[in-house]
Amino acid sequence: MKKVSFAEFGGPDVLQLIDAEEPHAGPGQVRIAVRAAGVNPVDWRVREGQVLGAHPTRLPSGVGLDASGVVDEVGEGVEGVEVGDRVFGEGASTYAEFAVLSAWALIPEGLTFEEAAGYPSVVETALRIIREVGVRPGQTLLVSGASGGVGSAVLQIARDRNVTVIGTAGAANQDYLRSLGAVATTYGEGWVERVRQLGRVDAALDLAGSDVIRELVELTGDPHKVISIADLDAPKLGVRFSGVAGSVPDALTEAVDLITRGKLHIPVEKSYTLTEAAAAHADSHAGHTRGRRVIVV
């Protein structure tokens, strides 16, 4: 089968499309014929050799966590899913023609493979950080870097829970944030004052890692009311860095419920082929993805 792989850590150019042995579903796993793979920033962070602790990487390595596709092998002990089912979920080396998933759910009616591949990691992350920051219905959550994959999920889940969101994004994404129910403002010069003008902030999430922790603490009045997923220096200011994934099966169940109720939609910014994986990584790394980028197989 064809698979995207890298033999050394480095820039997008280390990615190669190679012929590889097909993987097989072990106990508790399913194998899918991949139809699409989600492109997450963690994919290029692993490729660069940045996050070896959380994602131990043996070279040569495949790429990708999220995928959607059609089940073609069901591992020992797995129940509730059959060969031929359309699923989305999380696994390993998903930029490939076949991949093994360790967590999955049936794709809700009406969602394409391309769209479905964009959900698993961002929904798990969004649910985890909303829970960890402890924001309650009726309160206001400030989201720095609100228009990306995780931000798109946070905004819609918060709206579903009656949490008001103030989101920051670039000028081109202000209407997008409003379409997801948030009060929008731009980041950059003067942003703290613009947020203050919009009202009181009960809790805050740093999704962009753009050196805003001090300001988020100032706006909430308490480091315990701030969480970052992108600034490793956040703990120096007493702010929690959330980096350990929660239950992906639970997140997928919740994602299916939200999608089915019409409460969650993550748009696909752009699709790529397997041969264009390096371009997908370079574009993701540029840091201005609206929703999710995906690789279509």
Phi (first) and psi of residue 258, to 5 degrees: -65, -40
Q: Does 288 bind ligand NAP (CB under 6 A)?
A: yes
CA distance 2 to 98: 8
Our CB check for ligand NAP shows the closer of 5 and 289 to be: 289
Give the residue, chosen from 157, 208, 216, 239, that forms a contact with ligand NAP under the rule CB under 6 A: 208
- Interface mask (CB under 6 A) for ligand NAP, residues 211-230, using x and -? ------------------xx
Smallest gap from Cβ 243 to ligand NAP, in A, equals 4
**Which of 131, 126, 68, 78 has the alpha carbon at shortest distance from 295?**
68
Smallest gap from Cβ 53 to ligand NAP, in A, equals 12
> What letter would DSSP give residue 72?
E
Q: Which residue is nearest to ligand NAP (CB)?
A: 148
The total of other beta-carbon atoms located within 10 Å of residue 100's CB is 21
Binding to ligand NAP, residues 159-178 (CB under 6 A): 168-170, 173
Instruction: Tell me, letter by letter, the H, E, C secondary structure of 191-252.
Output: HHHHHHHHCCCCEEEECCCCCCHHHHHHHHCCHHHEEECCCCCHHHHCCEECCCCCCHHHHH
CA 216 to chain centre: 22
Smallest gap from Cβ 282 to ligand NAP, in A, equals 12
Q: Does 12 bind ligand NAP (CB under 6 A)?
A: no
Give the residue, chosen from 34, 103, 123, 207, that forms a contact with ligand NAP under the rule CB under 6 A: 207
| # binding residues, ligand NAP (CB under 6 A) | 30
Binding to ligand NAP, residues 96-125 (CB under 6 A): 122, 125
Q: Does 185 bind ligand NAP (CB under 6 A)?
A: no
∠97-8-32 over CA atoms, to 5°?
Answer: 15
The dihedral over CA atoms of 5, 32, 51, 41, expressed in degrees to the nearest 10, equals 90
CA distance 297 to 286: 23
Binding residues (CB under 6 A) for ligand NAP: these are: 40-42, 45, 122, 125, 144-145, 147-151, 168-170, 173, 187, 207-210, 229-230, 242-243, 284, 287-289
